[in-house]
Amino acid sequence: MKKILALVLVLAMVAALFVGCSGTDNKPATDAPKTEANNGDTKAATDAPATDAPATDAPVVATDMKVAMVTDYGDITDESFNQATYEGAKEWCEANGVDFTYYKPTGDSTEARVASIDQAVADGYNVLLMPGYAFAGAIVETVEMYPDVKFVALDVSEYDLQDAKGTAKDFSWVYPANLYSAVYQEELAGYMAGVAAVKLGYTKIGYLGGMAVPAVVRYGYGFVQGVNDAAKELGNVADIELKYVYGNQFFGDADITAYMDTWYNAGTQVVFACGGGIYASAAEAAQKANAKVIGVDVDQAPTIDSKYGEGMTVTSAMKGLAATVKTLLGNIAAGKFEGGKVETLGLVSETPAENYVQLPASTQWAEGKFTEADYNELVAKLFKGEITVSADTENAPEVEIAVDYQGNIK
């Protein structure tokens, strides 16, 4: 009997030893790879996707988290919204061991986008990323059909969603808890671009907007304010000529190019082209005049300069799409998804790279005019509230420079 008891005790000790080893091996690694979503690089505060950003330790990712992106009407190589979203999601998912793929709709229609959403859900993806206002109709049609799927929209505004729902008059549609959309303080990015243009020495400046929707107007009016404030600081208000027009569409064509030709031929040095593919008309005209453009939404220098001439793009008024995606995926992984809303993102730090609106590293900094250090100082002042920028889209900003508002080209 004693031998049996001794044998039982030995077996129990061995079993306990193996249980202990198993528990240690299965603990989440404390030195897991860190990304912008989980190391605080894109910390969430005022205007951030969620106030409870993931802690500095790697999030414990749910084993059933599967992420899919659906493109709007372009591809993941469009060097714009789709590509920025895709690259940010892919980087985060690879770093965190999460299944990721993307779907490209068969056409540019709500029906085609709905079909891609349906397919992604059927394939088991439960976090869907959708960049761009074109998704409003597809979201409205599907979000309540799939309550267990998290819909993450980028730059789909309250107006876009309510209009697609048929409630634009009273904004009465209550957003489902599985829907989150990030929109941006375009006026801040436009302001930064306006300051850069003037401080880099340009005095004959233009703004070419697409359709006069709120985001495009905010970019434009922010740009006007930035041009004005920089001119006041430099003391050359009387030297500034700013022309302002809308193309009334989101793509360039011969008529808009001809309009830009008249601007550049009359001495315009740089045009902020804001609104999808409308940049093509400004760039085509700038190429003929050996002039410059300012890009929008993402760093457009790679696209514009490769097609129309090296060094054409002075800077771009950017939205931090990749940073948004990484932060939101980190929040979802940490169980901190805050749906049921459309949230406006802007500055969360004095450090430019941590913000959701910014200028790119490709900006043509110039010593003695506008350097990267000057830009950092500008961002710090905006973040601290030492500089304020109006987001009013109903009334043009009151400025000291002369602005020639020319209405719509079409």
pLDDT in tens, 113-166: 999 999 999 999 999 999 998 999 999 999 999 999 999 999 999 999 999 999
Domain definitions of the chain by residue range: 66-184+322-345, 186-318+356-408
CATH of 186-318+356-408, one of 3.90.226.30, 3.30.420.40, 3.20.20.70, 3.40.50.2300: 3.40.50.2300
Q: Interhelix angle for 301-308 vs 279-289, to 10°?
A: 50
pLDDT band at 107 (very low <50, low <70, confident <90, very high): very high
Report the pLDDT value the prediction gives residue 85, as an integer from 0 to 100. 94
Per-residue CA distances from 212 to 164, 218, 245, 390, 409 (Å):
18, 9, 9, 17, 12
pLDDT band at 310 (very low <50, low <70, confident <90, very high): very high
pLDDT in tens, 38-69: 333 322 333 333 333 333 344 555 568 999 99
CA–CA separation, 177 and 275 (whole Å): 31
CA–CA separation, 295 and 306 (whole Å): 13
* pLDDT, greater one: 234 or 79: 234
pLDDT band at 74 (very low <50, low <70, confident <90, very high): confident
- Distant-in-sequence, close-in-space partners of 388: CB < 8 Å, separation ≥ 6: none
pLDDT band at 95 (very low <50, low <70, confident <90, very high): very high
pLDDT in tens, 213-266: 889 999 999 999 999 999 999 999 999 999 999 999 989 999 999 999 999 999
* 156: Cα within 13 Å, side-chain hemisphere: 27
Per-residue CA distances from 221 to 156, 208, 216, 238 (Å):
20, 12, 9, 19
Does 1.10.3720.10 match the CATH number of domain 66-184+322-345?
Answer: no
Report the chain's terminal Cα–Cα distance, integer Å. Answer: 100
Mean pLDDT in residue range 304-319: 97
| Closest to 355 in 3D by CA, of 35, 47, 39, 37 | 47
The helices-and-strands tally (H runs, E runs) of the chain is 12, 13
Report the chain's mean pLDDT, rounded to a whole number: 87
Asked if the domains at 66-184+322-345 and 186-318+356-408 fall in one CATH topology, the answer is: yes
Report the pLDDT value the prediction gives residue 110, as an integer from 0 to 100. 97
pTM above 0.85, yes or no: no
pLDDT in tens, 4-35: 334 333 334 333 333 333 333 332 233 333 33
